[in-house]
């Protein structure tokens, strides 16, 4: 039963209309030319896989920040947060997690706290792996104050094929670490801007799991971690 549940995970409600479209198109393809129909079956299965919405076990401790997205830690750098969030011009440590089309795309809140600002910024649809995507691409930026009083931000960024950012948060909303708050389709990236007291606990190239992987700890006094490929 556990094995079945690990495969048949819940589907995000945003995905059902796309799955239905793929399924109808597949049926029509079978009527036209059977080999095309089997291609449609594969694409329909991929669509259902893309919109999967599995449960996650989020670490519970004051000071922890968890990854808001599944994917690879693409870069860790110093950058000024989006100007629309009114967080000043001082650079903050930015952790970027890139999601490809095979990752879970449901995004999760990185910490316990209160949402203090939300800002949508229209833009381009450049490859989300590029550094300039943080400035040029369409994005939904979120600023929050953690329960420990730390001012952080996380930003959903559209990518090369992403054309829809969904964010269900509201200003003054109380949120919990690991809580689902939206998604991006299809393939993109989420940036997290850390408070000065926070040191990244992940390394570039590491695979992060939304709601589970600890990306920073405001209570830690160790230096930034380095990774080695094996």
Question: 220 near 141, Cβ under 8 Å?
Answer: no
**Tokens (6 digits) for 4:** 């079945």
169 vs 167: CA distance, rounded Å: 6
* pTM listed for this prediction: 0.85
Is 188 catalytic? The answer is yes
224 vs 219: CA distance, rounded Å: 13
In sequence order, the 6+-apart residues with CB closer than 8 A to the CB of 144 are 109, 111, 113, 114, 115, 116, 151, 152, 153, 154, 175
Report the share of the chain in percent with pLDDT over 70: 90
pLDDT number for residue 138:
87
**Tokens (6 digits) for 225:** 């971690």
pLDDT number for residue 168:
94
Query: Class of the 64-217 domain?
Result: mainly beta
Q: Pick the range with the lowest mean pLDDT from 95-99, 115-119, 129-133.
A: 129-133
Encode pLDDT of 101-129 as tens digits. Answer: 888 889 999 999 999 999 998 877 666 66
Q: Which residue did the predictor score with more confidence, 131 or 87? A: 87
Candidate list 96, 134, 188, 218, residue with the active-site label: 188
Confidence of residue 211 (pLDDT cuts 50, 70, 90): very high
> What residue segments make up the domains of the chain, in order of their start?
2-50, 64-217
In sequence order, the 6+-apart residues with CB closer than 8 A to the CB of 103 are 69, 70, 71, 187
């Amino acid at each position: 039963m556990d094995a079945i549940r690990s495969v048949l995970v819940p589907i995000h409600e945003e995905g059902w209309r796309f799955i239905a479209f793929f399924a109808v198109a597949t049926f029509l393809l079978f009527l036209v030319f059977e080999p095309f129909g089997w291609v449609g079956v594969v694409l329909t299965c991929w669509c259902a896989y893309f919109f999967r919405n599995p449960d996650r076990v989020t670490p519970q401790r004051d000071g922890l920040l968890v990854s808001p997205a599944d994917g690879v830690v693409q870069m860790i750098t110093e950058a000024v947060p989006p100007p629309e969030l009114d967080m000043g011009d001082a650079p903050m440590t930015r952790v970027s997690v890139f999601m490809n089309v095979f990752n879970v795309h449901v995004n999760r809140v990185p910490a316990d706290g209160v949402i203090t600002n939300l800002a949508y910024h229209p833009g381009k649809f450049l490859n989300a792996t590029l550094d300039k995507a943080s400035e040029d691409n369409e994005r939904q930026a979120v600023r929050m104050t953690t329960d420990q009083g730390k001012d952080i931000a996380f930003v959903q960024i559209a990518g090369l094929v992403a054309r829809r950012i969904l964010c269900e948060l509201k200003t003054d909303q109380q949120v919990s670490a690991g809580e689902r708050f939206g998604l991006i389709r299809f393939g993109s990236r989420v940036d997290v801007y850390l408070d000065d007291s926070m040191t990244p606990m992940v390394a570039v190239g590491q695979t992060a799991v939304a709601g589970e992987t600890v990306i920073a700890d405001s209570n830690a006094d160790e230096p930034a971690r380095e990774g080695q490929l094996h």
